[in-house]
Amino acid sequence: MSTCTMFSLVILGLCLVTTISQKVGQLSLEYQWKSLDFEWPSDSIKQEFIKNGSFVPESNMASGIKVYNGSVYITVPRLKKGVASTLNVIIEKDGKAILRPFPSWSMQTIGDCSAIQFSQSMEIDPLTGWMWIIDTGIGLMADPTETICPPKLIIYDINRKRIVRTHVFPDHVASRSSFLNDIVLHRVGGKAVLAYISDSGPAHIVTYDFRSDKSFTFADSSMLAESPPSSVVHIGNRSYPETFPINGIAMSPDFRYVYYSSLAGTSLYRIPTTILSNPKGLFKQSVRKVGVKKSQSDGIAFGKKFMYYGALSSNGVYQWDFMKDQNMAAGPDDITLTTQVLVAHDDQRMKWVDTLAFDNEGSLWFTADNAGSFLIEKMNISSPNMFVWKLYLGENGYLGTK
């Protein structure tokens, strides 16, 4: 190779590094809605849904998010009456971002226990294209009489458009009082074979093992709501007393630990996956408090280098440099939550950062939906109140292939 060629390659490499470094921290608002709408089979069907109360625009709040192969998937949990479709993919139609029920309209039917009743979140394995959908089974959470179907996990192959498996949780694992909230996957031998789910109803972590098609659960006081002031969320000039227990759950990129926290609290805990994957695991002896977050949070997520959480009282997203703190620790299994940096903030459009997800191009996506207000009052659809943000960080999620 000539000296000129080598020099050109060096310059090209420096330019690429410079370009990438300039993009880190770039924040973009991808979608915003005053109210959500769907891709309806026909306008007459939409009007019928509105007439009989099956679609009430003010009852639809964008919550969970995942990104796969350029598509953005959104959950609309059935927290109130009038949610037409609980799992969707965002599409553009006539210049507007609307929701296409996923995988179909028929899979959104309330009362059909083979369909999806209430999805708060899901996870997608980028290696297989399998979407692991948690369904808490409640048709209409606002009306206890509509608790129709048992909680379940549906594994759906996005690429082949087929259900791989449906696991209905036994009542002793996830009962009708459960609220299956968030999910992470655990790869063993390069394959995602275990799922860990936060259950905000009885305050449990549910484990599902794909290999045996069995599930079991763990409970611990660390999963409960904390006492005030840690359980009071302050957003602007409003305060929201919370009693919600375990919510956010995240998998470390080496698949050695699961981290979790309560919505009504600021403490962050972790448990080894060797314990969570074993139905006889000694949870109480193995759980460890890592530290205190800057704010209460809803969703949390690991990239390859950092952990991120939505800071409810700060209207933004924090980054935890866990690798730095781990390097400063006395040993590889001794780490304290210390280095926390605010990486995104907007007092008006990041109220209640809900769920976080990575694409495979180095960006963190997250929803902000002002859920605190949504749950206690009618949604104001006169101005944008739900937002999807994209933050380039130069790293992929814990399941990322790059």
CA distance 107 to 30: 27
Output the pLDDT for position 1.
52
Q: What is the pLDDT of residues 341-354, one digit of tens each?
A: 999 999 999 999 99
Number of other CB atoms surrounding residue 217 within 10 Å:
18
- AA identity, residue 201: G
Average pLDDT over residues 58-84: 96
Output the pLDDT for position 261.
97
- 3-state SS, the chain, equals CCHHHHHHHHHHHHHHHHHHHHHCCCEEEEEEECCCCECCCCHHHHHHHHHCCCCCHHHCCCCCEEEECCEEEEECCCCCCCCCCCEEEEEEECCEEEEEECCCCHHHCCCCCCCCCCCCCEEEECCCCEEEEEECCCCCCCCHHHCCCCCEEEEEECCCCEEEEEEECCCCCCCCCCCEEEEEEEEECCEEEEEEEEECCCCEEEEEECCCCEEEEEECHHHCCCCCCCCEEEECCEEEECCCCEEEEEECCCCCEEEEEECCCCEEEEEEHHHHCCCCCCHHHHCEEEEECCCCCCCEEEECCCEEEEEHHHCEEEEECHHHHHHHCCECCECCCCCEEEEEECCCCCCCEEEEEECCCCEEEEEECCHHHHHHCCCCCCCCCEEEEEEECCCCECCCCC
pLDDT greater than 90 at residue 114: yes
Average pLDDT over residues 239-266: 94
Q: How confident is the model at residue 229 (pLDDT cuts 50, 70, 90)?
A: confident
Torsion angle defined by CA atoms of residues 56, 50, 100 and 383, in that order, rounded to the nearest 10 degrees: -40
Q: How confident is the model at residue 162 (pLDDT cuts 50, 70, 90)?
A: very high
pLDDT greater than 90 at residue 139: no
Tell me the domains of the chain and their CATH numbers.
28-392 (2.120.10.30)
CA distance 10 to 198: 48
pLDDT greater than 90 at residue 172: yes
pLDDT greater than 90 at residue 189: yes
- AA identity, residue 252: S
Q: How confident is the model at residue 14 (pLDDT cuts 50, 70, 90)?
A: very low
pLDDT greater than 80 at residue 245: yes
Q: What is the pLDDT of residues 288-334, one digit of tens each?
A: 999 999 999 999 999 999 999 999 999 999 999 998 998 888 776 78
pLDDT greater than 60 at residue 358: yes
Output the pLDDT for position 402.
54
Mean pLDDT of the chain: 91
pLDDT greater than 50 at residue 108: yes
Greater model confidence, 141 or 101: 101
